[in-house]
Structure 1
């Protein structure tokens, strides 16, 4: 054997011995997150990052995966689907074994395109628990995308059941003309048909509608005297619609879906008086983070006590993540699923094993059985209705 080969063989042996030596740091398993840490949806994005950080800290405190710690790589996409896709490519290049935390239908679709190359090739990695309920992203299943939360169809069903029990008979619907809004609109109309009711108004709102255009549409809807207005809109348009509705006699009840609800909750710094959207009904896809009777929430609250309660503030003056938020709990659960799947892989933990394990195994979280199956979504997802109070808190 030549001197060069002997040198390289000795070098490789020394590196192996160093890695196996006591105190050597095992190579971490990276989990990638791209979320809106700034911009209109920063409240949700920061909550997602906070929950993922909390789950990673808890996983590492329990030994990680086969002696390897988890590491969270979090990038800001500002709610821009193109930035989300670029972030996904960067996270994969940095070795992320799975992605999570993606917020919204457009960003989820963009990341799914990155994960699943053209030509029928298998996905490059798994995206677990994206924060979107858009049905076109679920049926048919996107390769490598595993949905933990309820879809907008389940949210709409729960919303109509709740409003029906309140005795509402005159419904109005305003939906954004995108995948999420159309999913909500179709399901609301279906559920109204089931209770033999027709809406007094069912309107679409362009994705780039101005506040003035939102206001004019709301005026038309309110003129029809609805008792409940369901807004399948994003947070920016929902806020404008609610402001226009509250400025005149309109409905008794207003409802938004979970994706918009988090951004509408909370209070802007320095604000006084009751929250402007007090009384708003919001669907939720995880249990209330204050409900310690739920086993998952009880574990989450213990993790908050042990591993810290404050999220890092976002750039450009964005608010800090709210410990104990629905968004934080949602990402905590999704990251816990990734951890459990990696544990099932053991020493084979990596992208390929995760993609094989996620659709074929059942994962037991406290009070929650996760079983994606070939449909890559939970068969009976959680949904409940919350109420935004005068202090900007979501109440059960």
Structure 2
């Protein structure tokens, strides 16, 4: 009896030791709902980076425990999901959230501040998450202002001045809309028309009608993939030859699949990451290898690649934070980051949370491929 009790105590002790020899990071992502396909790719990118790190021995003698939850792109669920990760799971960091409005609500309720927890690599470039400065969110992507300025400058340089905006009617879309208007101001140009749709819906017909009233030469889309694709399909049917650009949160392959080749070909998309399809950069080759090993059969995508890089940035900071990283020590490690993630550079500072300004421009070509 005593021997069995001793074995039981030893077993419990080993179990506690195993649990303690983990560092927990958490992710709330839209795994269901209107952004599900993007959310699944985001979750996959984080997971393969974590699994690759654990397969290589973990960090500072610890394995990473990744807890991923579904918020359905719903703001209230984002808040409750985050509270669970902070309070129940005792996560030391959060990673890879989606939705400007969703994350803004975390700031409004001081969820991140009261927990003193960093959020790394949110899948949004919304200005409201960057200005005014907050110390909790570490961005690895350029902002929507950077993307919309790139689009506007390209249009104006080719003589296109009659520009409209199609946007999601929430904090995300309004941030992008404001970015377009800010980029137009130095050129003394105003929008000729605008049209919107409601979050978590796909009713874009009125937006098409509203935008066509302005007789635009080009439309900038601040929208997620499915509404953007349906908008492109309807708009090009009614206005062939119209130039359409989208910001980086859309999937070109899915726009092609939903809108069809005749409508989708030629749609421009700004990108905040290098191409995940080309193996010319070391980080891309490492990402593709991680996909083959930890998600065999899954194709590369911009969304999963972005969150793979985000997880690599977080893992690098965890290593520098020491063997028993706390939320506070991790924030110090993150804000002292000047990292070269196998060719992709990210730099933060005590008053600097925008780690990258990289913006590229691609175009949807035959078969939905991204052309540069």
**What TM-score do you get using the length of structure 1 for normalisation?**
0.82
Alignment partner of 1:247: what SS? helix
Which residue is 1:49 aligned to? 43
Question: Displacement, 1:103?
Answer: 0.7
- Report the Cα distance in structure 1 between the residues aligned to 2:233 and 2:94, rounded to whole angstroms: 36
8 Å contact kept, 1:42–1:78 = yes
Evaluate the alpha carbon distance shift between residue 379 and residue 29 of structure 1 in structure 2; reply closer, same or farther with a 3 A threshold.
closer
Which residue is 2:99 aligned to? 104
Alignment partner of 1:231: what SS? strand
Which residue is 2:229 aligned to? 239
- Report the Cα distance in structure 2 between the residues aligned to 1:153 and 1:295, rounded to whole angstroms: 28
Alignment partner of 2:363: what SS? strand
Which residue is 2:173 aligned to? 181
- Report the Cα distance in structure 1 between the residues aligned to 2:337 and 2:200, rounded to whole angstroms: 44
Aligned pair partner of 1:258 in 242, 248, 259 = 248
The structure with more radius of gyration: 1
Question: Displacement, 1:111?
Answer: 3.7
More helix by share: 2
Evaluate the alpha carbon distance shift between residue 341 and residue 289 of structure 1 in structure 2; reply closer, same or farther with a 3 A threshold.
same
Which residue is 2:370 aligned to? 394
Alignment partner of 2:250: what SS? helix
Question: Displacement, 1:222?
Answer: 2.0
Higher relative contact order (CA 8 A, sep 6+): 1
Question: Displacement, 1:247?
Answer: 2.6
Which residue is 2:271 aligned to? 284
Which residue is 2:318 aligned to? 342
- Report the Cα distance in structure 1 between the residues aligned to 2:336 and 2:114, rounded to whole angstroms: 16
| Superimposed CA distance per residue, residues 36-67 of structure 1 (whole angstroms, 9 cap, x where no aligned partner) | 11221112101111111110022112221111
**Aligned CA-pair RMSD:** 3.2
8 Å contact kept, 1:58–1:303 = yes
Asked if residue 67 in structure 1 is aligned to residue 61 in structure 2, the reply is yes
- Report the Cα distance in structure 2 between the residues aligned to 1:266 and 1:187, rounded to whole angstroms: 26
Task: Report 1:308-387 matches (<5 A).
Answer: 308-310=295-297, 323-378=299-354, 380-387=356-363
- Report the Cα distance in structure 2 between the residues aligned to 1:338 and 1:204, rounded to whole angstroms: 38
**What TM-score do you get using the length of structure 2 for normalisation?**
0.86
Alignment partner of 1:72: what SS? strand
Question: Displacement, 1:276?
Answer: 4.7
Structure 2: runs of 5 or more not aligned: 1-5
Aligned length: 367
